[in-house]
């Protein structure tokens, strides 16, 4: 049986545990939607958008903590408008709240018709990531710093979601099999 070797990304020294500006984690990812992403009617699958969102938000989380990260929860996902083959999808994401080892990342998805230039806001999402150390266990992440009134508002909304999800998790997730 053959064994496959993966190259592990060298993250170097972890980010110091001093506050980092929210804006430093900002990530923008664009991709043209192709037939592989869609159903025969030309509508892009929700799962294709979710995969892109997972990657875009992971980049924002890694930028914040300078560590490898894993997705632990999809806290919110709305599909507000359809996306079609040929649309240019752009996902803008940033970390908006951090716990000890977890980070809440918000993403906004926009679809642009490259021919007409018409842009539509198609999804809003929040995902939670956890930073992992070399041993694969959760590690502390730097605090986040909100520098503008809008960022402070975003941070407070994300904090409320973090607290609510934590309570719901305690009620809903069964840990014994």
Under the rule (CB under 6 A), what is the footprint of ligand COA? 70-73, 99-102, 128, 130, 138, 165-166, 169
CB of 139 to ligand COA, least distance (A): 9
CB of 112 to ligand COA, least distance (A): 28
CB nearer to ligand COA: pick between 54 and 112: 54
* Coil vs helix vs strand at 143: coil
CB of 129 to ligand COA, least distance (A): 8
Q: For ligand COA, which residue has the nearest CB?
A: 99
CB nearer to ligand COA: pick between 21 and 138: 138
CB of 169 to ligand COA, least distance (A): 5
Q: What is the DSSP letter of 106?
A: E
Residues forming beta bridges with residue 106, ordered by sequence position: 94, 126
| Element housing 64 (H / E) | helix 46-65
What does the alpha-carbon distance between residue 104 and residue 92 come to, in Å, rounded to a whole number?
14
Distances (CA, A) of 21 to 17, 65, 90, 92, 97: 12, 12, 23, 16, 11
CB of 32 to ligand COA, least distance (A): 25
| Element housing 173 (H / E) | none
CB nearer to ligand COA: pick between 48 and 71: 71
- For residue 169, give the nearest of 128, 132, 137 by alpha carbon: 128
CB nearer to ligand COA: pick between 33 and 65: 65
What does the alpha-carbon distance between residue 79 and residue 81 come to, in Å, rounded to a whole number?
6
Tokens at 124, concatenated: 């809003």
Q: Decide if 159 contacts 99 (C-beta within 8 A).
A: no
CB nearer to ligand COA: pick between 94 and 101: 101
């Amino acid at each position: 049986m053959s064994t496959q070797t993966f190259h592990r990304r060298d993250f170097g020294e972890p980010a110091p545990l001093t506050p980092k500006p929210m804006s430093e984690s900002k990530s923008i990812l664009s991709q043209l939607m192709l037939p592989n992403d869609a159903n025969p009617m030309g509508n892009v699958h929700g799962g294709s958008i979710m995969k892109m969102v997972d990657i875009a938000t992971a980049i924002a989380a890694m930028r914040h903590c300078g560590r490898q990260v894993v997705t632990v929860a999809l806290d919110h996902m709305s599909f507000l408008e359809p996306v079609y083959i040929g649309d240019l999808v752009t996902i803008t994401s940033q970390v908006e709240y951090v716990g000890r080892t977890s980070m809440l990342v918000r993403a906004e998805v926009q679809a642009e018709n490259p021919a007409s230039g018409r842009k539509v806001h198609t999804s809003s999402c929040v995902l939670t990531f956890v930073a992992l150390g070399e041993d694969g266990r959760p590690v502390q992440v730097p605090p986040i710093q909100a520098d503008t009134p809008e960022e402070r508002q975003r941070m407070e909304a994300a904090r409320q979601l973090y607290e609510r999800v934590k309570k719901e998790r305690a009620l809903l997730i069964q840990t014994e099999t």
